[in-house]
């Protein structure tokens, strides 16, 4: 099965590959540079994840995708939207996590700027009130016929043919960055039950407890059980 990951973020791709395993052929936007960008303007993680997956799937249906022995291969598009919710900031940065410190019209801001803004806004907030969570929603959309097991096990609402699964990881925001690994807000986020940040814990631990790990485990369970997408050749909204 081909799994198209709707991102150019190498760190995110690495997490997804590590959690889903080597049984899939992975593709990313790096292999499809002409793919159009999706404007992530939905007010929820669910909305942005679905929009990215559906728009990319629609575009890919018109592209000459690889085949084996002249046969159309099963393809799924995987898109996620994730971010940090801080209770003391009424859930911000939320869906704007990657653009938290960006100027109007600028696009995403650097990790360093986003982290600096977060610390500045929380400067007067005591440790017990720095409660936060990482949240992730993953959307799957079929763009090729898939012959595996019962249809509704993966896509419960045909012909829309999309599946949304999510995960969350509770924790707190540290007073200063800790650790060199990870990306985004990882140096500031300390998950419940740990003293170290995501950036200190490393991939082996993060890939067991993170928001994305929880969502991907559900995806892995669904895919390993098999999928039937009889006759789906186009993605629908």
**Domain segments of the chain: what residues?**
2-229
Task: Identify the pLDDT of residue 152.
Answer: 43
pLDDT over threshold 60, residue 146: no
Cβ-based neighbour number of residue 121 at 10 Å:
16
pLDDT over threshold 50, residue 22: yes
pTM (two decimals)? 0.82
Higher pLDDT, residue 165 or 121: 121
- Residue 96's nearest CA partner among 105, 85, 87, 88 is 85
Higher pLDDT, residue 11 or 126: 126
Q: What's CA 221's distance to the chain center, in Å?
A: 17
Average pLDDT over residues 170-196: 95
Least confident of 57-61, 79-83, 113-117, 148-152: 148-152
CATH code linked to domain 2-229? 3.90.950.10
Rounded CA-CA distance 111/109 in Å is 7
Residues 6+ apart with CB under 8 A from 95: 40, 42, 43, 44, 45, 48, 81, 83
Least confident of 69-83, 172-186, 190-204: 69-83
Share of the chain above pLDDT 70, in %: 84
Residues 6+ apart with CB under 8 A from 195: none
Helices and strands, number each (H, E), in the chain: 6, 10
Task: Identify the pLDDT of residue 68.
Answer: 58
Dihedral Cα 232, 235, 236, 237, nearest 10 deg: 150
pLDDT over threshold 50, residue 213: yes
What would the two tokens of residue 148 be?
């595996």
Q: Which residues of 54-65 are buried (b: 16+ CB within 10 A; e: fewer)?
A: bbbbbbbeeeeb
Helices 211-225 & 10-20 angle (0-180, nearest 10): 50
Task: Identify the pLDDT of residue 14.
Answer: 87
Positions marked active-site: 81
pLDDT over threshold 50, residue 58: yes
What would the two tokens of residue 135 be?
């949240």
Task: Identify the pLDDT of residue 57.
Answer: 86
Task: Identify the pLDDT of residue 1.
Answer: 79
Q: Give bridge partners of residue 228 from the DSSP assignment.
A: 147
Write down the H helix ranges in 61-151.
111-121
Q: Exposed, middle or buried, 36 (CB in 10 Å: 0-12/13-18/19+)?
A: exposed
Residues 6+ apart with CB under 8 A from 210: 15, 134, 136, 167, 169, 191, 198
Q: What is the pLDDT of the chain when averaged over all its residues?
A: 84
């Amino acid at each position: 099965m081909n799994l198209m990951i709707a991102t150019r973020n190498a760190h995110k791709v690495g997490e997804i590959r590590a959690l889903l395993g080597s049984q899939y052929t992975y593709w990313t936007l790096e292999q499809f540079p002409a793919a159009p960008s999706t404007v992530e303007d939905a007010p929820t993680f669910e909305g942005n994840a679905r929009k990215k997956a559906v728009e990319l799937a629609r575009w890919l249906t018109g592209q000459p995708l690889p085949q084996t022995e002249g046969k159309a291969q099963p393809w799924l598009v995987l898109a996620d939207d994730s971010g940090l919710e801080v209770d003391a900031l009424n859930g911000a940065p939320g869906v704007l996590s990657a653009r938290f410190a960006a100027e109007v019209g600028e696009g995403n801001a650097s990790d360093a700027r986003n982290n600096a803004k977060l610390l500045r806004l929380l400067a007067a907030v005591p440790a017990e009130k720095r409660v936060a969570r990482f949240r992730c929603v993953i959307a799957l959309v079929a763009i090729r016929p898939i012959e595996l097991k019962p249809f509704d096990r993966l896509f419960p609402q045909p012909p829309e043919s999309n599946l949304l699964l999510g995960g969350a990881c509770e924790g707190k925001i540290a007073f200063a960055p800790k650790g060199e690994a990870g990306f985004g807000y990882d140096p500031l986020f300390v998950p419940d039950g740990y003293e170290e940040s995501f950036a200190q814990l490393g991939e082996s631990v993060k890939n067991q407890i993170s928001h994305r790990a929880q969502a991907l485990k559900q995806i892995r369970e669904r895919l390993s059980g098999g999928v039937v997408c009889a006759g789906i050749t186009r993605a629908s909204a």
